[in-house]
């Protein structure tokens, strides 16, 4: 008992004036102990004649107290939208600043947020009261009184938060999938983790059944379904290829013409009921066309013009980006195009002249998808900064390490003295 008395005596008890000052700051946006709120917390501490750490502790206690009250509160609005964050004067002001032209000119989000916080700290008491009143007006809006534009903005905001939560859950090892249909939109949207989306892609009837259930529960018999569009697309694609096969939606390599006005080509599971009906009514107009890849004969003819010296130069460059040397020989001697699976992914060390040669004369040595991957690999390998170089010496130490901050091509022209 004596120990409890000593603890109570050592704890600073706030007077009414200090509580009022802190509550005013809390209502105006001081609801976090993050680094961005440091100046605001210090200002409140000075005005209330308290230490910085004591104010931070008060903020934490205040947040916990409000959470306990919210959990026991049975208000109808809270039950309708339990995850909606409270709009504060600080949040509303920062949102206004982040959309301003002054913030848009900055390159990073951290710089924009810092500018918004700095402007908030410069506001006077009267200006903060104005923003507090605006926040209160926004917070008091009933969901049933929202305009169409306000509802659309709230849906966009909620969808953004949903995607953020799914990404966070995936980082924790969770798997999830969400079927999402906006009011007035017949296009079904699918969000989730990688495995969740793959599951939906392999079980397209799940999305179809969901759309049919929401569209009209009373209408049981339907003339057209998603499976009809899948069958139509596969049949037309097979006719274009000259063999029976399925449409490679992700890989591409084809064009589609004749779709009804306002409808773009995509996976059939993403169409709504009306879109499916319009597609099936235009069966005769829908055609697939295969995009022809560059002819190998043109490359073969061009390769035969190269001299032995040129071929050796090309060989040395190609060996830097192709995994097996045998593939390089097949390309130079037998004129076989390099495929994507033949490429090196990491440790690509190219000079500027090498890259110019690959993107110029040697471009036709690669298949289109392989060349696109090559460029992506080269860009990825050149994003690092500087090199650590071993320079061998005649002293007791076999070599010394030096940091070279330039690009790879500069190393070849540098001497040991440099």
Tokens read off for 131: 């923003």
Q: Which residues contact 405 (CB under 8 A, 6 or more apart)?
A: 385, 386
At residue 75, the 3 state secondary structure works out as: coil
- Which whole-number Å values give the CA distances from 257 to 248, 261, 264, 312, 342, in the listed order? 16, 11, 10, 46, 34
Tell me the β-bridge partners of 288.
256
CA 144 vs. chain centroid, Å, equals 32
CA distance 77 to 140: 10
- DSSP for 206-226, please give it: HHHHHHHHHH-TT----S--H
Of 138-147, 231-240, 258-267, 400-409, the least confident: 138-147
Cα separation, 276 vs 185, in Å, equals 14
Which own/partner pairs from 11-14 qualify as long-range (CB within 8 Å, at least 24 positions apart)?
A: 12/50, 12/54, 14/48, 14/50, 14/58
- Positions of E strands within 71-182: 177-180
Read off the pLDDT of residues 311-335 as tens digits, 9 standing for 90 and up.
888 888 888 888 787 778 878 777 7
- Report phi then psi at 185, rounded to 5: -115, 130
| Domain over 149-215 is classified CATH 2.60.40 | no
Query: pLDDT band at 199, cuts 50/70/90?
Result: confident
pLDDT tens digits, one per residue of 5-58: 444 444 567 888 888 888 888 877 788 888 878 888 898 889 888 899 888 888
Mean pLDDT of the chain: 76
The pTM assigned to this predicted structure is 0.26
Rounded to whole angstroms, the Cα distance separating 204 from 230 reads: 10
C-alpha to C-alpha distance for 235 and 244, rounded to whole angstroms:
8
Q: How confident is the model at residue 150 (pLDDT cuts 50, 70, 90)?
A: low
Collapsing DSSP to helix, strand or coil, 290 comes out as strand
The CATH T-level fold of domain 226-290 is: GTF2I-like repeat (3.90.1460)
Q: How far apart are CA 335 and CA 173, in angstroms?
A: 47
- What are the structural domain ranges in the chain? 14-70+84-144, 149-215, 226-290, 296-381, 384-418
In this predicted model, what pLDDT tens digit does every residue of 273-296 receive, in sequence order? 888 888 988 888 899 998 865 544
């Amino acid at each position: 008992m004596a120990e409890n008395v000593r603890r109570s005596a050592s704890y600073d008890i706030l007077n009414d004036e200090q509580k009022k000052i802190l509550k005013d700051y809390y209502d105006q946006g001081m609801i976090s102990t993050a680094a961005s709120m440091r100046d605001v917390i210090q200002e409140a501490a000075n005005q209330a004649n308290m230490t910085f750490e004591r104010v931070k502790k008060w903020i934490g206690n205040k947040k916990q107290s409000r959470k306990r009250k919210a959990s026991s509160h049975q208000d109808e609005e809270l039950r309708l939208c339990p995850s909606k964050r409270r709009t504060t004067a600080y949040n509303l002001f920062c949102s206004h600043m982040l959309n301003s032209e002054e913030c848009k000119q900055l390159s990073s989000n951290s710089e924009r947020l810092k500018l918004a916080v700095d402007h908030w700290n410069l506001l006077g008491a009267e200006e903060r009261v104005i923003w507090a009143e605006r926040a209160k007006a926004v917070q008091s809006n009933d969901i049933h009184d929202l305009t169409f534009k306000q509802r659309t903005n709230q849906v966009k905001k909620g969808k953004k938060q949903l995607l953020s939560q799914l990404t966070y859950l995936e980082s924790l090892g969770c798997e999830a999938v969400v079927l999402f249909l906006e009011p007035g939109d017949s296009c079904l949207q699918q969000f989730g983790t990688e495995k969740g989306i793959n599951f939906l892609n392999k079980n397209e009837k799940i999305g179809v059944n969901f759309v049919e259930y929401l569209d009209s529960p009373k209408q049981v018999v339907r003339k057209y379904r998603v499976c009809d569009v899948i069958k139509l697309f596969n049949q037309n694609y097979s006719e274009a290829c000259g063999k029976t096969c399925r449409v490679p939606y992700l890989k591409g390599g084809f064009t589609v013409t004749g779709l009804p006005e306002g409808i773009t080509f995509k996976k059939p599971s993403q169409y709504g009921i009306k879109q499916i009906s319009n597609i099936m009514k235009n069966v005769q107009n829908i055609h697939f066309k295969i995009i022809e890849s560059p002819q190998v004969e043109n490359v073969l003819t061009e390769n035969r013009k190269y001299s032995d010296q040129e071929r050796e130069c090309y060989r040395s460059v190609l060996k830097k980006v192709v995994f097996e040397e045998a593939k390089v020989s097949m390309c130079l001697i037998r004129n076989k195009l390099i495929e994507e699976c033949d490429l090196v992914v990491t440790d690509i060390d190219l000079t500027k002249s090498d890259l110019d040669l690959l993107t110029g004369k040697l471009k036709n040595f690669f298949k289109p998808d392989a060349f696109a991957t090559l460029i992506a690999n080269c860009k990825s390998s050149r994003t690092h900064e500087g090199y650590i170089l071993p320079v061998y010496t005649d002293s007791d130490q076999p070599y010394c390490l030096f940091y070279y901050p330039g690009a790879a091509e500069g190393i070849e022209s540098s001497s040991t003295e440099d």
